[in-house]
Structure 1
Amino acid sequence: MGFHTYDVERADALEDPDRFRYCSAEELLAALAVPGDAVVADLGSGTGFYTDVVAPHVGTCYAVDVQPEMHDLYREKGVPETVETVTAGVEDLPFGDGALDAALSTMTYHEYAGEAALSELARVVRPGGRVVTVDWSRHGPGEAGPPRDERFVVGDAATAFGDAGFVVERAESRRETFLCVARR
């Protein structure tokens, strides 16, 4: 992982519906654009806030988090039938080559960004599969999220995905965040 992981003591904040202002459920599902039987991984799933958005629309959604305590909190909340929790870092995913139709990352790219993690995503996402990344922008005012010096700009993320063998289909900056959609 990158600079730090999210503080488990503050995990209740991950369930705040106000988070949809950074990425709505509809936008996330449209960016993923996967069929109903897809196998998807939510990278840095935390308590499952965005995992719960995706789960009803796919065959399997892996909730991947490096902190087992986040999975404990998710289980207390109630994990949907189509979700399997996986304790792992993005740089060492326990999936076979091309096993995922897509992956998503909401507000966690800054925690794992790096060559090893993106190479691992290139390995586990099937050719033609997508990785949808929404994260805090370095150009944002910094009112929410990690310190600005731990953030990236969309161009840096797009370049990193391109260097890892992805084709960037969409790269947009917003007030506090950015969206990057990359196809393997």
Structure 2
Amino acid sequence: MGFHTFDPARADQLEDPSRYEYVSVDELLALFDARPDDVVADLGSGTGFYTDHVAAAVETVYALDVQAEMHELYREKGMPENVVPVTGGVESMPIADSLDAVVSTMTFHEFATPEAMEAVADSLAPEGRVGFADWTADGTGSSGPPLSERYSAAEAVEMCEAVGIEVTRAEDRRETFVLEGRI
């Protein structure tokens, strides 16, 4: 897979409401069964487009992104008080708290390696949950990253199961896949 990060110079595109066509807020929150006392990590949080919605549903959100510039843009936009920005890669998971859930929206293709998936599994508390939504390799490629940089739902399931995440739902859709699971 070809890994990349989203260009901060184009960050305004991350705030486009048409993104809800691919993953709605309700669907995202249902993927990891958001609960008011949850401590959650949002992997590849960017400018906080979806993070804001997660923050409204849980106690604390660690907004993990490899680009400090994305955190600066998020702060300028207005970061909720219960969001903690963390700069780093998923494979190092630089979050000390044990997490009730890990969520990723349209960024799985940017971090999915065996090391990163192991870090996700290790960061979860017992009964911890995951919710992933990303561009599918089985899509047309008319939106999002090139098909060569994407995973299918089946590939994401394999990566999760390899680290002990039990997948309870995974499906490819028109351009995206969704996956929910737990430790």
TM-score range, shorter chain: over 0.9
Q: Within 5 Å, give how 1:67-106 maps onto structure 2.
A: 67-96=67-96, 99-106=98-105
Q: Contact 2:2/2:148 (CA < 8 Å) preserved in 1?
A: no
1:169 is paired with a residue whose SS is strand
Aligned length: 183
Q: Within 5 Å, give how 1:164-183 maps onto structure 2.
A: 164-183=163-182
Q: Contact 1:2/1:112 (CA < 8 Å) preserved in 2?
A: no
Q: In structure 2, do the counterparts of structure 1 residues 133 and 2 end up closer, same or farther at CA, with 3 Å as the change threshold?
A: farther
Deviation at 1:34, TM superposition (A): 3.0
Deviation at 1:95, TM superposition (A): 2.2
Matched residues in 2 for 1:95 and 1:41: separation?
8
Q: What CA deviation, in whole Å up to 9, does each residue of 1:15-69 have, x standing for no partner?
A: 0011011110011111221320110010000000000011011110111100000
Query: What is the TM-score with the length of structure 1 in the denominator?
Result: 0.96
Q: Within 5 Å, give how 1:15-26 maps onto structure 2.
A: 15-26=15-26
Q: Contact 2:38/2:58 (CA < 8 Å) preserved in 1?
A: yes
Matched to 2:32, the amino acid is: L
User: In the alignment, which residue of structure 1 is the partner of 2:141?
Assistant: 142
Q: Contact 2:32/2:181 (CA < 8 Å) preserved in 1?
A: no
Q: Contact 1:137/1:177 (CA < 8 Å) preserved in 2?
A: yes
Matched to 1:99, the amino acid is: S
Q: Does 1:160 align with 2:159?
A: yes
Matched residues in 2 for 1:23 and 1:137: separation?
13
Moved over 2 A (4+): none
Q: Contact 1:154/1:171 (CA < 8 Å) preserved in 2?
A: yes
Deviation at 1:126, TM superposition (A): 1.0
Deviation at 1:102, TM superposition (A): 0.2
Matched to 1:143, the amino acid is: S
Q: Within 5 Å, give how 1:13-52 maps onto structure 2.
A: 13-52=13-52
Residue identity (%): 54
Matched to 2:154, the amino acid is: G
Q: CA RMSD in A?
A: 1.3
Q: What CA deviation, in whole Å up to 9, does each residue of 1:117-139 have, x standing for no partner?
A: 00001110112111111011111
Which sections of structure 1, spanning at least 5 residues, go unmatched? Answer: none
Query: What is the TM-score with the length of structure 2 in the denominator?
Result: 0.97
Matched residues in 1 for 2:95 and 2:17: separation?
31
Q: What CA deviation, in whole Å up to 9, does each residue of 1:77-129 have, x standing for no partner?
A: 00001111000100001223x71000100110001111000000111011211
Matched residues in 2 for 1:158 and 1:124: separation?
18
Matched residues in 1 for 2:104 and 2:130: separation?
8
1:20 is paired with a residue whose SS is helix
Deviation at 1:2, TM superposition (A): 5.8
Matched to 2:66, the amino acid is: V
Which sections of structure 2, spanning at least 5 residues, go unmatched? Answer: none
Deviation at 1:146, TM superposition (A): 0.7
2:45 is paired with a residue whose SS is coil
Q: Contact 2:92/2:119 (CA < 8 Å) preserved in 1?
A: yes
User: In the alignment, which residue of structure 2 is the partner of 1:3?
Assistant: 3
